[in-house]
Structure 1
Amino acid sequence: MWREFREFAMKGNVMDLAIGVLIGTAFNKIVTSLVNDIIMPIFGYVVGKETFAHLTIGNIKYGAFIQTIVDFLIIGFSLFIVIKAYNKLKKLREKEAQEEASDDNELTQEEKLLTEIRDLLKEQRSNSTN
Structure 2
Amino acid sequence: MDRTLQILTHCIDDLNGTSDPAYHHIVKDCLSFIEANYTEDINITKAALEIHVNADYMARILKKEYGLPFIQILTNTHLEKACSLLCNMDLSISEVSGRTGFRDFRYFGQVFKNRYKMAPREYRKTVKKKNTH
TM more than 0.5: no
Higher helix share: 1
| Greater Cα radius of gyration, structure 1 or 2 | 1
For the aligned pair, the TM-score class normalised by the smaller chain equals: under 0.3
Structure ranking higher on relative contact order (CA contacts 8 Å, 6+ apart):
2
